[in-house]
């Protein structure tokens, strides 16, 4: 009986110690998440790109929107600030590829898609600002996936890039929202941050990763690495961009190009509407059109 009683006491003590250790680790992880969020969130922004269809057979410039809108289609995606400009993915560079309404016109010799409006906002700000898309030097980093816009709109403030090979112990930073931004574009996204180790190899630019464990809409993300520059000083380097391609989540290195394919979405009905080429695209709409 004494032995049984002593054993129960020891088990109770061990469970208490384990509970305290678990609580401490959880608190430490929460602190790390908040620290990383505060360090990287100003380097991420949301882009809204609109496009129109241009009638290439018309004698004068003629553009069309859809269903009485002054743009034919639009997409929302992420931008990542770096020292030399900012990274965009293909949704921002060619929004028509990801718009099901465009499928009907993808092989047309008469209508050509053209960007018509470009704005951005920071993650925690609902104010949309103009993001240049004309006369901006676009450098293709990964064929049909990642592009570097070499522009000084953000005053050359952004992440420093890590281009080295080897074992990388860093964090995957996922940007998530409750709904797709096409349904509600004023949402304040949140960040999911997970430790991850990747081994970067020469001439290999794409690395498969597990999907984030969340029942939310994933807007994209980035892979960052800590750089310890001095006692008490840590800098976060951008090492990759998170993209969803062919039903897989991947880390795409941002230092050299390679080839990839683009998956188009199914076609839906649509109607062309002539638009005024000087008309601005409305912003800050809480609920966008239903397709």
Query: Residues 195-242: pLDDT tens digits?
Result: 999 999 998 999 999 998 778 999 999 999 999 888 888 889 999 999
Which pLDDT tens digit goes with each residue over 39-96? 999 999 999 999 999 999 999 999 999 998 999 999 999 999 999 899 999 999 999 9
Which pLDDT tens digit goes with each residue over 12-35? 434 443 333 322 323 334 457 888
Stronger pLDDT, 246 or 42, i.e. the higher one: 42
**pTM for the whole thing?**
0.78
Which pLDDT tens digit goes with each residue over 162-171? 999 999 999 9
Report the C-alpha gap between 116 and 280 in whole angstroms: 9
Name the residue ranges covered by the structural domains of the chain.
39-274
Report whether pLDDT(273) > 60.
Answer: yes
Phi, psi of 24 (to 5 degrees): -65, -45
Looking at residue 5, its pLDDT comes to 39
Q: What number is the average pLDDT over the span 157-181?
A: 94
The distance in angstroms from the start CA to the end CA of the chain is 73
Report the C-alpha gap between 193 and 242 in whole angstroms: 12
Contact (CB, 8 A) for 71 and 276? no
Q: How confident is the model at residue 271 (pLDDT cuts 50, 70, 90)?
A: low
Using a pLDDT cut of 70, give the percent of the chain over it.
Answer: 77
- The secondary structure element, H or E, covering residue 243 is strand 233-245
Report the C-alpha gap between 163 and 142 in whole angstroms: 14
Count CA within 13 A, CB hemisphere, residue 285: 12
Q: Cβ neighbours of residue 160 under 8 Å, at least 6 residues apart?
A: 82, 83, 235, 237, 238
């Amino acid at each position: 009986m004494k032995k049984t009683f002593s054993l129960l006491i020891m088990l109770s003590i061990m469970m208490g110690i384990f509970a305290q250790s678990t609580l401490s680790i959880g608190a430490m992880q929460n602190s790390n998440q908040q620290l990383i969020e505060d360090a990287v969130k100003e380097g991420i922004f949301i882009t809204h790109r609109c496009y129109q269809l241009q009638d290439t057979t018309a004698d004068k410039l003629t553009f069309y929107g859809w269903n009485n809108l002054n743009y034919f289609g639009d997409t929302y995606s992420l931008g990542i600030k770096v020292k030399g400009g900012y990274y965009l993915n293909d949704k921002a560079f060619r929004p028509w590829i990801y718009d099901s309404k465009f499928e009907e016109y993808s092989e047309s010799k008469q209508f050509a898609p053209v960007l018509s409006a470009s704005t951005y906002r920071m993650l925690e700000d609902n104010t949309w600002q103009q993001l240049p898309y004309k006369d901006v030097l676009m450098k293709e980093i990964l064929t049909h996936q990642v592009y570097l816009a070499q522009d000084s709109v953000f005053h050359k403030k952004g992440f420093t890039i890590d281009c080295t090979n080897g074992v990388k112990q860093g964090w995957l930073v996922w940007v998530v929202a409750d709904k797709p931004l096409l349904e509600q574009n004023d949402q304040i996204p949140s960040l999911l941050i997970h430790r991850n180790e990747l081994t970067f190899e020469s001439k290999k630019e794409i690395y498969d990763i597990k999907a984030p464990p969340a029942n939310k809409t994933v807007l994209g993300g980035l892979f960052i690495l800590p750089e310890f520059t001095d006692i008490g000083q840590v800098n976060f380097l951008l090492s990759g961009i998170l993209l969803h391609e062919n039903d897989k989540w991947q880390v795409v290195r941002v230092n050299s190009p390679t080839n990839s394919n683009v998956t188009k979405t199914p076609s839906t009905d649509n109607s062309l509407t002539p638009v005024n080429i000087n008309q601005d695209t409305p912003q800050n709409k809480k609920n966008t059109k239903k397709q």
